[in-house]
Amino acid sequence: MESLKIALASDWFFPSIGGIEYHIHDLATNLVKMGHDVHIITRFGEYPDEKLPYSVHRFKGHINLDSFYVSIGTNLLRDVNELYKKEHFDITHGHSIYSPIAVGVSNISSGIRGIPSVMTNHSFLGKSILNPTYVLILQALLRKINGFIAVSDAVRQDLENILGKSLRNRPIHVVPNGIDTNFWKPVEDKEEWKSKIGLDGIVITTTSRLTKRKRIDVIPKLARIIIEKYRITDIKFVIIGDGPERRKIEELIKAYHVQDKILMVGKQPREKVREYLWASDVYLSPTIYEAFGIAALEALSCGVPVVANNHGGISEIVKHGLTGLISQDDRELLENIVYLLNNVELIEKMGKNARKVVKEEFAWEKIAKEIVEIYKKTIETFEEDPFILYTLHQALKGGITNAGVFNL
């Protein structure tokens, strides 16, 4: 297979930690394994880049919003342009339409340097009174992007709504997040791991940033109802993650008197998250606004069935009745949890199914190949369409008589 020189661009990369950061790292690593030359273009930050199996180029703009891990500035774009003159990439792959670096670099790529670009949308726009203005800005900023990738069909629909008529005939490919099935794998002895980390009974785990949108605050009430109404007491809920809603959730745990049933362990590294999943029987996702659900996919890969609400992208990775149970509302979410708690043999069966499905449909080896095919199609169909101002600049710089755009 022909080797490509690929630029992956985003504000969100190590040392910050999150779904997009690990997605970029895992994609880059797998592309390198396939024989491609991969370069990450991102914001400044202290990290041992030399230990990574690909090249990393870091830039700092005049404006740096550290709380959002975002860097902006014309100086940054100028420096990126110089990098493109030097490296001669075959394609640019931006990550997140909300990342200034991803959008800026992609525009330099396809609008100035004549290199095709694709952009992966990882999340929903969300709700805000500023959305109409934001949508117009996004439509203007994304008009030079040659194609898009959405991590779920729900995200594809959201992106179509954002772009509207400005999408024109540009493709939106739906390619889910990949997962390292060699890292996220089942453990041989679940009971041993429960004992090792101080857990017992049926363990129900949730990994999430603690924000209002994630709705982790419903777990204390669910725990109380399961104990009181259904008389199921041999359970333990584990909440992994941190965020602005943590104090509220802790207060609700006390209010519902379930301090002995819910364990909040805060934000944890991936290795520790995996250990908790190894000790888990069920993974719970109460959110109703999830673009994809990478945490749920990690659970499925570890052989843990998922109980989730039927909204957003998570319902596209959980196969109802096979790898987990999908719920229409919180009442049904509760009923599905109780159903599994009363049918322990089904938990084991769904867990085995989950592992099998993930290896077949979401392993990075498969996902990376799909993305490379999109790269190739984008390169083959690319037609140069530089910014008008850049064309004018080149014409003036080279002299009107030497400017190809004016030669008849």
Tens digit of each residue's pLDDT (9 = 90 or more) over 243-267: 999 999 999 999 999 999 999 999 9
Burial class of 281 by CB neighbour count within 10 A (0 to 12, 13 to 18, 19+): buried
Cα–Cα dist 20/248, whole Å: 27
pLDDT in tens, 289-334: 888 889 999 999 999 999 999 877 888 899 999 999 999 999 999 9
pLDDT score for 111: 93
pLDDT score for 314: 87
Cα–Cα dist 286/334, whole Å: 10
Domains in the chain with CATH codes = 5-178+365-406 (3.40.50.2000), 190-361 (3.40.50.2000)
pLDDT band at 403 (very low <50, low <70, confident <90, very high): very low
pLDDT in tens, 221-248: 999 999 999 999 999 999 999 999 999 9
pLDDT score for 304: 98
* pLDDT over 60 at 405, yes or no: no
pLDDT band at 18 (very low <50, low <70, confident <90, very high): confident
Token digits of residue 311: 């909204």
Mean pLDDT computed over every residue of the chain:
91
Q: Regarding beta strands 282-285 and 202-207, do their DSSP bridges make them parallel or antiparallel, or are they unpaired?
A: parallel
Residues 6+ apart with CB under 8 A from 299: 205, 207, 277, 280, 283, 306, 354
- Average pLDDT of the residues in 190-207: 94
Range in 22-36, 71-85, 344-358, 371-385 with the lowest mean pLDDT: 71-85
* pLDDT over 70 at 401, yes or no: no
* CA 314 to mean position of chain CA atoms: 12
- Average pLDDT of the residues in 205-214: 93
pLDDT band at 388 (very low <50, low <70, confident <90, very high): low
* pLDDT over 50 at 408, yes or no: no
- Average pLDDT of the residues in 356-374: 97
- In a 13 Å sphere around the CA of 339, the CA atoms on its Cβ side amount to 16
pLDDT score for 156: 95
pLDDT in tens, 73-120: 889 999 999 999 999 999 999 999 999 999 999 999 999 999 999 999
Range in 135-144, 226-235, 332-341, 398-407 with the lowest mean pLDDT: 398-407
pLDDT in tens, 335-363: 999 999 999 999 999 999 999 999 999 99
β-partners of residue 302 are: none
pLDDT score for 407: 34
Which residue from 218, 335, 240, 357 is spatially nearest to 295, judged by alpha carbons?
Answer: 240
- Average pLDDT of the residues in 172-186: 96
pLDDT in tens, 264-275: 999 999 999 999
- Rounded to whole angstroms, the maximal C-alpha distance in the chain is 86
